[in-house]
């Protein structure tokens, strides 16, 4: 053994190898010993030197918590107070289902790049129905619990989101000086091709609206707003009458309705860029007047059981319309109209084409679409709907006006 350097007398043999310590200053400002242990003297010496280098850079935590304990603290003290309820709920779900069961027992300062890579690969192979006991919770098992694994592995989008949540949590651990660097940054995910959106054509949107109008669908005005104005589901269901100016043909979009952990939240939109006062094309004004009339009739039918909520779109008793129920009603209307089933969010991509078909001035369309440059709007307006479609949409608006 070569001559020991200054301070290396703190390296000494113990059962199973060698142990060493360095005096550190913890993030709380307390002086304590921090120990490292390895099988050989050389390995212990290298770990001791690395620890000394960390001490020279700043405070070092002596007893790092397990990842599970830190994530519990992170969700409760960082995520929930600072992020929107739905985002916080999504983070908590990722932690509970996809991170803690696989990495939770590891000490925060012991997680390596290899651990992260093995975790991500395991997610790609693990049936989540088995891991989460989904089938086992059913009264009558039909797949995994019955011995027929359904191989419900996590999607690449879920894996990417789980990695993002872990990275965010470890960045907090770095800022709180619990660890020096994040092992997540050493693992890259291959870029996946984005799903190509196939929105409705103007003709399909027209058939959908005509079907809703013909059958007297109580949500007809809602369908008009998501197609013509491109409103998101939360913005639509969070719309209140005090933010609708029918005489001035304007709509104030600044609130949204979300269901989070069995509670409805009526709150501000996700970002300031989402807030806008939108001009209302004639077909939207006519549809909202019809909606106001039908809501008044529902109020009279309900009598004393009516609950005044102020929302534009409500149940027959005045209560807010559930987001999931709106999804079901939209899917049912797609089936009755005989059009392709798409997501509610995908209807936003039909909005620009409908505005062109309704002869909405490009400057007005630019404001509705929230484009910063008129050139972007004019590119959308190069799609010219058929004259038959234009006339049909005009008749639809005219019939409402009457």
What pLDDT, on the 0 to 100 scale, is given for residue 376?
64
If asked whether residues 308 and 333 sit together in one domain, one would say yes
Mean pLDDT, the chain, whole residue set: 84
Of residues 55 and 61, more confidence is placed in: 55
The angle, 0 to 180 degrees and rounded to 10, between the axes of the packed helices 220-228 and 323-337 is 90
If asked whether residues 246 and 348 sit together in one domain, one would say yes
Residue 1 lies in a domain: no
Which DSSP state fits 308? Answer: -
**Average pLDDT of 71-83?**
92
What pLDDT, on the 0 to 100 scale, is given for residue 184?
93
Full domain range(s) for residue 235: 202-401
If asked whether residues 152 and 287 sit together in one domain, one would say no
**Average pLDDT of 246-254?**
89
If asked whether residues 306 and 235 sit together in one domain, one would say yes
Residue 193 lies in a domain: no
Instruction: Label residue 288 by pLDDT band (50, 70, 90).
Output: very high
pLDDT tens per residue across span 293-332: 999 999 999 999 999 999 999 999 999 999 999 999 999 9
Residue 192 lies in a domain: no
If asked whether residues 244 and 224 sit together in one domain, one would say yes
With a cut of 70, say whether residue 393 has pLDDT above it. no
Which DSSP state fits 247? Answer: T
If asked whether residues 300 and 210 sit together in one domain, one would say yes
**Average pLDDT of 359-376?**
70
Retrieve residue 193's tokens.
């091709």
With a cut of 60, say whether residue 2 has pLDDT above it. no
Q: Which residues pair with 278 in a beta bridge?
A: 251
What pLDDT, on the 0 to 100 scale, is given for residue 260?
82
CATH code (residue 282): 1.10.443.10
If asked whether residues 260 and 139 sit together in one domain, one would say no
pLDDT tens per residue across span 8-21: 557 888 888 888 88
Residue 311 and residue 179 in contact, taking contact as beta carbons nearer than 8 Å:
no
Residue 194 lies in a domain: no
Retrieve residue 12's tokens.
């000494």
How far is the C-alpha of 247 from the C-alpha of 181, rounded, in Å?
A: 58
Which DSSP state fits 95? Answer: I
If asked whether residues 287 and 376 sit together in one domain, one would say yes
How far is the C-alpha of 12 from the C-alpha of 41, rounded, in Å?
A: 8
What pLDDT, on the 0 to 100 scale, is given for residue 399?
44
If asked whether residues 285 and 372 sit together in one domain, one would say yes
Q: What is the dihedral of CA 222, 224, 226, 229, to 10 degrees?
A: -130
Residue 177 lies in a domain: yes
Number of domains in the chain: 3
What pLDDT, on the 0 to 100 scale, is given for residue 401?
39
Half-sphere exposure of 373 (CA within 13 A, CB side): 3
Q: 358 Cβ partners below 8 Å, 6+ apart?
A: 228, 281, 282, 283, 390, 393, 394, 397
The sign of the dihedral angle between the CA atoms of 16, 19, 25, 31 is positive
If asked whether residues 111 and 50 sit together in one domain, one would say no
With a cut of 90, say whether residue 261 has pLDDT above it. no
If asked whether residues 230 and 174 sit together in one domain, one would say no
Q: Which of 44-53, 143-152, 332-341, 392-401 has the highest mean pLDDT?
A: 332-341
With a cut of 80, say whether residue 270 has pLDDT above it. no
Residue 224 lies in a domain: yes
Instruction: Label residue 387 by pLDDT band (50, 70, 90).
Output: low
Retrieve residue 197's tokens.
């959106």
Residue 211 lies in a domain: yes
- Looking at 58-150, list the stretches that DSSP marks H as alpha helix, in order from N- to C-terminal side: 67-74, 80-82, 85-94, 100-103, 113-125, 128-131
Instruction: Label residue 400 by pLDDT band (50, 70, 90).
Output: very low
CA nearest to 129, candidates 142, 139, 115, 120: 142
The sign of the dihedral angle between the CA atoms of 124, 130, 132, 135 is positive
With a cut of 90, say whether residue 274 has pLDDT above it. no
What pLDDT, on the 0 to 100 scale, is given for residue 390?
53
pLDDT tens per residue across span 112-128: 999 999 999 999 999 99
What pLDDT, on the 0 to 100 scale, is given for residue 159?
93
pTM above 0.85, yes or no: no
If asked whether residues 109 and 143 sit together in one domain, one would say yes
Task: Give exposure, 305-332, as e/b (b: 16+ Cβ within 10 Å).
Answer: ebeebebbbbbeebebbebeebeebbee
Retrieve residue 262's tokens.
């069995």
């Amino acid at each position: 053994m070569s001559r020991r350097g200054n301070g290396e007398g703190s390296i000494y043999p113990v059962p199973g190898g060698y142990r060493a310590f360095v005096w550190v200053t913890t993030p709380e400002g307390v002086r304590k010993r921090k120990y490292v242990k390895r099988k050989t003297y050389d390995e212990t010496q290298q770990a001791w030197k690395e620890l000394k280098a960390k001490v020279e850079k700043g405070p070092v935590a002596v007893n790092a918590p397990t990842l599970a304990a830190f994530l519990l603290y992170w969700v409760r003290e960082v995520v929930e107070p600072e992020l929107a309820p739905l985002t916080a709920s999504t983070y908590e779900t990722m932690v509970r289902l996809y991170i803690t069961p696989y990495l939770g027992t590891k000490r925060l300062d012991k997680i390596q790049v290899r651990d992260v890579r093995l975790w991500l690969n395991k997610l790609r192979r693990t049936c989540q129905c088995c891991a989460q006991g989904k089938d086992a919770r059913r009264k009558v098992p039909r797949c995994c619990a019955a011995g027929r694994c359904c191989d419900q592995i996590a999607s690449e989008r879920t894996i990417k989101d789980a990695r993002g949540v872990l990275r965010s949590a470890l960045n907090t651990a770095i800022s709180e000086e619990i660890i020096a660097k994040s092992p997540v940054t050493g693992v890259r995910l291959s870029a996946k091709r984005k799903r190509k959106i196939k929105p409705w054509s103007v003709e399909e949107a027209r058939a959908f609206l005509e079907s809703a109008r013909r059958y007297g669908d109580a949500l007809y005005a809602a369908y008009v707003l998501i197609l013509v104005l491109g409103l998101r589901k939360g913005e639509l269901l969070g719309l209140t009458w005090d933010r609708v100016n029918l005489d001035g043909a304007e709509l104030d979009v600044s609130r949204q309705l979300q269901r989070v952990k069995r509670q409805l939240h009526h709150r501000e939109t996700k970002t300031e860029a989402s807030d806008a006062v939108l001009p209302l094309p004639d077909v939207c004004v006519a549809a909202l007047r019809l909606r106001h009339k039908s809501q008044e009739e529902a109020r009279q039918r309900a009598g004393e059981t009516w609950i005044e909520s102020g929302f534009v779109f409500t149940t027959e008793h005045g209560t807010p319309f559930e987001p999931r129920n709106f999804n079901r009603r939209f899917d049912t209307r797609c089936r009755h109209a005989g059009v392709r089933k798409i997501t509610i969010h995908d209807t936003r991509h039909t909005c620009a084409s409908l505005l062109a078909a309704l002869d909405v001035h490009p400057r007005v369309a630019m404001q509705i679409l929230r484009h910063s440059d008129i050139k972007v709007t004019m590119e959308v307006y190069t799609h010219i709907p058929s004259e038959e479609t234009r006339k049909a949409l005009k008749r639809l608006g005219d019939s409402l006006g009457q």
